[in-house]
A and B are shown apart, each in its own frame.
Chain A
Amino acid sequence: MNVPGGDAADVGSRAQASLRLDGVGMSFGAKEVLAGIDLEVSPGQFVALVGPSGAGKSTLLRLLNGSHRPTVGTVSVLGTDPTKCSRRELQRLRTRIGFVFQQFGLVGRLSAMENVLMGALGSLRLPRYGVSSYPQDLRRRAAGNLERVGLIDARFQRCDTLSGGQQQRVAIARTLMQDAEIVLADEPVASLDPSSSLSVLETLRRLSAEDGFTVVCSLHQVDLALAISDRIVAVRDGSLVLDTATSQTNESQIRSIYQRNGPAT
C-alpha cells in the first residue's frame, strides 16, 4: 500500500481485524433485511460476498461505511464503530474506506483525471472545481493511479465517452486516491460484459495485492467469485449461510445457495 508516512499506529491497526460484525441485524420498518451476522475480515483479504438479489449484500456493505445503522449488534471498521461517529468523524473514517459502485458514480461531463482527483477530497479542506484547482502532487498521483488502471491516455477525456469497463477502472483509480485500507465494492461488474468484468476484477485483485488493502466485493457471478477471491461469504434471506476459503469450496456448492431450498451450512 502506498501510504506516505505509514506510522506505527497504522501498522498497529493493521494487526487487528479490518472489519468485524457481531450479531448484526438490520430492519427497514417491519422488514428484516439482515439477522445475526457475525463476520471478521483480516487485513489484505479479498472477500467475495455472494447471494441472490435482495439477500442483504448491499445493506451489509453500506453498514460497513456507515451509510446504514444496524438495528442490533455492533460494527467495527478499522477499529472504529461507525454508528458512534459524529458526522465529521464518519467523514474521516470514510477517507480510509474506498467504495466502488455498480453504476460507477462518476460525473460523466468531467474528465477521467478530475473524477479520480475527487477521491482525494476527504483529505482537502476546501471545495475544488476543475483539474487545475487541485495541488500538483495530487494531480501527479491521480495520473499515476490512472496509469495503474491502464487509462493514462484517456486522462483528459470525458468520462461519459469511455466504455463501461473503463469507467469502472476510473472509479477504482478514484478509490486509490484515498489510500484506502478497505475497499468495499457493491456489484462492481454487474453492468459490464463478461470480458470487461474479468478485467476489472483482476485489476482490483492486483491492486489489492500490491497495496495490501482489504476488499469486500459483492458479486453475482459465481465463476468470477471463485476466480478472484481468497474467501467466499454467502448471504441468503439476510443470514450468513456460507463462510469459507475459496479453495475449500466449489461452483456447485455456491450455486446451491441461489436455489430456494439450497443447503445452509
Chain B
Amino acid sequence: MSVTTPSRPVAVTREREPRPPRAAAATWLIPLGYLAVSVFGVWWIAIDLTALQDGAGDIARLLERMLPPEFGSLSELVTLVLETLWIALAGTGVATVVSLPLAAAASRNFTGPRSVQWLVRGIIVVTRAVPSLVFAIVFVRIFGLGPFAGALAIAFHSVGMIAKMMADVFEELTPAPREAIGAVGASRFQNFTATTLPRSLPAISSLVLYRLDINIRASAVLGLVGAGGIGVALQTAIGSLNYQQAAGIIVVIGLLLLALELVSFLVQRAVAEHAQDGVTSELYRRTADPIRPGWNRARLLRTGGALIAAGALLYALTQVSFDPSRLGRSWQAAVDLVTGFFPPVIDSAVLTGIFESVVMALTATTVGVVIGLVIAILSTGHVVRFAPLSFALRVLVVLMRSVPDVIYALVFVAALGLGPFAGFLALSISCTALAAKFFTDALQGVDPGPLRALEATGASRLQVFVSGVWPRFVPSLIGNSLFTSDLALRESAVLGIVGAGGIGFVLQESVASLDYGTTAGVLICLVVVVVALEAVARWARTRVI
C-alpha cells in the first residue's frame, strides 16, 4: 500500500521503541490450569468414549420410560409450585432486610469499630460459600421437614450473596452527599437512610430481583432434602421409580422457570428505565400545594411496587411460618448440632469428597466453556450469519437453563448409576448453558464501530472476528469462565446429595448419622475452597480485566 506516513526522527525513537505488549500471565495461566485439571478429571472420573456411548444408551432408555409425562393431581402440583414461590420469596425478602445493615457495616465507607466490620465480612464470606441446599440439610435436622427450613436455608445463603453485592453498590457511590449530610449534624443512621439508600435503591432492586430468580430455581430442588416445595414431589416420584410422574414434575419446574425468566426480564427492564440518572420524567404530579406532592404514574409505580413487595413478603412469611410447638425440640437439636461441631473432623473421606467436587466442577467448566463458546460464536452472527441457527441455539440455551442441575444429576444417576460421572454430565450441561449465556451477552456488547472499519478494509468475517472481536472478548472470556466455575463448584458440592459424586454425599451422611464433627469439617473445607477460588478470580480480574 502506498500510504505515506509522517516521517519521524529515527535516531530518537529507536531507543524508545515500545516493546510489543505482553499478554498478562493470567490469560495463559488460567486456561492452562483448567486444561491440566480437566485432563486429570477425565482420568479420575473415568470419562471415555465407551462410557459416554453406553451412557447415551442408558439415558435414552430412561427417557423412554419417562414418556409420556404424567401430571397427577393438578391441585397438588399447584400447591407445591406456590409453596416453592413462597419459600423463595420469604427467604429472599428476609435476606434483603438483614443484608442492608450487614452490607453497610461491611462496606469500606463504614466508620464504626473495625472488629464489627471484620465479623460482618466473615459472616458474608461463610454464608456465601455454603450453598442453600447444604443449609437446608442442616436446618431440616433442626427445624424438621417443611418449608420453614427451606426458606431459612435460602435466606442464609442469600444474605452472603446480597450483602456482598449491596456493599459493592454502597462503595461505588460518590461520597459528596454523605459528607454534606454528615455536615448538617445528621446521625450515621439518618445519613444512611437519606443519602445512601435512595441512591442505591435501583441497583438493590435489580440485584434482589436477580437473586429471587436464582432462589426460585434453588427452592424447586430444596424438597430433595425435605425442605418443602415441588422438589418433594420429584423426590417421591423418583424414589418410587414412577418416572412418568417425575417427568411431569420436571416439565412443570421447567415451565415455572421459563415463565419466571420472562417476568424477571420485564420487571428488570421496568426498574432499569426508572433508575437512570437525569431522567426528566416528573417524580410527582405538579400541584399548587407547596408541601404535598401530587400523584402521577411514576409515584404510583414507586409506592405501589413497594407496597406489593412488602405485602407479598408478609404473605410469604405466613406461608412458611415455624410451628411453635416444635420450639423445644428445635432448640435441643440446634444445641446438639452446634456442640457437635467441635472438634471438626477433616478425614480422608472429607478431603476426597471435596477434591472430587473441585475436579468435577473444573472439568465441567472446561467442557461448558468450550461448547458454550462455540454456541455463543454461532449465535451472535460475528462469524456465521444464519438467523434460524442463531434462534435455535438461543432457545436451546434457555431450555437447558430451565432445568436445575440437581435434576439433571437425578436423571443421570437413575440412568447411569451412582458416582461422579453423572455429576460431571449434569454440571457440564449447566456450565454450557451458563457460559453460552455469558459469552453471548459479552460478544453482543462488543462496540461495532471498529468492526465496521475493519470490514471496510475488505477483511473477511473470520478476520474481523479474530482481529477485532477476540482481543476485546478475552477479558470477559476469562472473567466469565471463572465465574462459571465458581457457580459450578457450589453446585458440585450438593450433587452428592442425589448420589452424583463429590462432597455432598459425605455431608448428608454426616447429618443423617449425627456425626456433626464431620459436618463441620465439610463446611470448613467448602468455605476454604470457595474462598480460594474467589481469590484466584479476583487476582485474574485485576490482571486481565
Interface residues of A (CB under 8 A from B): 65, 67, 91-99, 101, 103-111, 113, 118-124, 126-129, 131-132, 136, 139-140, 142-143, 152, 155-158, 160-161, 171, 174-175, 177-178
- Asked if B389 is at the interface of the complex by the 8 Å CB criterion, the answer is no
CB atoms of B190 and A158 under 8 A apart: no
List A contacts of B185 (CB < 8 A).
91-96, 121-123, 178
With A99-B180, A121-B185, A156-B284 as given contacts, are A109 and B291 in contact (CB-CB < 8 Å)?
A: no
Q: List 20 A-B contacts (CB under 8 A).
A: A103-B176, A104-B176, A105-B180, A107-B194, A107-B195, A109-B198, A109-B277, A111-B283, A127-B189, A127-B190, A129-B198, A131-B291, A131-B293, A156-B282, A156-B286, A156-B293, A157-B283, A158-B279, A174-B180, A178-B185
With A110-B198, A128-B194, A136-B291 as given contacts, are A95 and B184 in contact (CB-CB < 8 Å)?
A: yes
CB atoms of A106 and B290 under 8 A apart: no
List A contacts of B113 (CB < 8 A).
none
* Nearest CB on A from B182, distance (A): 8
- Asked if B186 is at the interface of the complex by the 8 Å CB criterion, the answer is yes
CB atoms of B184 and A122 under 8 A apart: yes
CB atoms of A178 and B184 under 8 A apart: yes
Other A-B pairs beyond A65-B183, A121-B184, A174-B180, 20, CB < 8 Å: A93-B185, A95-B185, A101-B179, A103-B174, A105-B177, A105-B179, A109-B198, A121-B181, A121-B186, A121-B187, A126-B190, A127-B189, A128-B190, A132-B292, A140-B290, A142-B291, A160-B278, A161-B278, A161-B279, A171-B180
Interchain CA distance A175-B185 in the complex, whole Å: 11
* Nearest CB on B from A185, distance (A): 11
CB atoms of B184 and A174 under 8 A apart: yes
- Asked if B192 is at the interface of the complex by the 8 Å CB criterion, the answer is yes
- Asked if B197 is at the interface of the complex by the 8 Å CB criterion, the answer is yes
CB atoms of A101 and B180 under 8 A apart: yes
* Nearest CB on A from B204, distance (A): 13
CB atoms of A127 and B192 under 8 A apart: yes
Interchain CA distance A160-B276 in the complex, whole Å: 11
- Asked if B240 is at the interface of the complex by the 8 Å CB criterion, the answer is no
List B contacts of A96 (CB < 8 A).
185
List B contacts of A120 (CB < 8 A).
184
- Asked if B513 is at the interface of the complex by the 8 Å CB criterion, the answer is no
Checking B192, B193, B291 against A140 with a beta-carbon cut-off of 8 angstroms, the contacting residue is B291
Closest 8 CB pairs of A and B: A105-B180, A122-B185, A95-B185, A127-B193, A121-B186, A94-B185, A139-B291, A99-B183
Identify the closest chain B residue to A105 (Cβ): B180
Checking B187, B194, B201, B277 against A108 with a beta-carbon cut-off of 8 angstroms, the contacting residue is B277
Interchain CA distance A202-B37 in the complex, whole Å: 70
Number of residue pairs across A and B with beta carbons under 8 Å? 125
Identify the closest chain A residue to B289 (Cβ): A143
- Asked if B280 is at the interface of the complex by the 8 Å CB criterion, the answer is yes
CB atoms of A91 and B187 under 8 A apart: yes
* Nearest CB on A from B312, distance (A): 20
- Asked if B211 is at the interface of the complex by the 8 Å CB criterion, the answer is no
* Nearest CB on A from B98, distance (A): 18
* Nearest CB on A from B509, distance (A): 48
CB atoms of A157 and B194 under 8 A apart: no
List B contacts of A106 (CB < 8 A).
177, 180
CB atoms of A129 and B197 under 8 A apart: yes
- Asked if B141 is at the interface of the complex by the 8 Å CB criterion, the answer is no
* Nearest CB on B from A74, distance (A): 21
CB atoms of A143 and B179 under 8 A apart: no
- Asked if B199 is at the interface of the complex by the 8 Å CB criterion, the answer is yes
* Nearest CB on B from A203, distance (A): 18
CB atoms of B283 and A105 under 8 A apart: no
Interchain CA distance A127-B194 in the complex, whole Å: 7
Per-position binary interface string of chain B over residues 376-387, scored 1 when its CB falls under 8 Å from any chain A CB and 0 otherwise = 000000000000
CB atoms of A158 and B283 under 8 A apart: yes
Checking A109, A111, A140 against B284 with a beta-carbon cut-off of 8 angstroms, the contacting residue is A111
Identify the closest chain B residue to A88 (Cβ): B187
CB atoms of B283 and A118 under 8 A apart: no
* Nearest CB on B from A98, distance (A): 8
List A contacts of B187 (CB < 8 A).
91, 121, 127
Interchain CA distance A170-B179 in the complex, whole Å: 16
With A91-B185, A94-B185, A121-B190 as given contacts, are A157 and B293 in contact (CB-CB < 8 Å)?
A: no
Interchain CA distance A123-B192 in the complex, whole Å: 16
List A contacts of B181 (CB < 8 A).
105, 118, 121
* Nearest CB on B from A192, distance (A): 15
List B contacts of A105 (CB < 8 A).
176-177, 179-181, 183
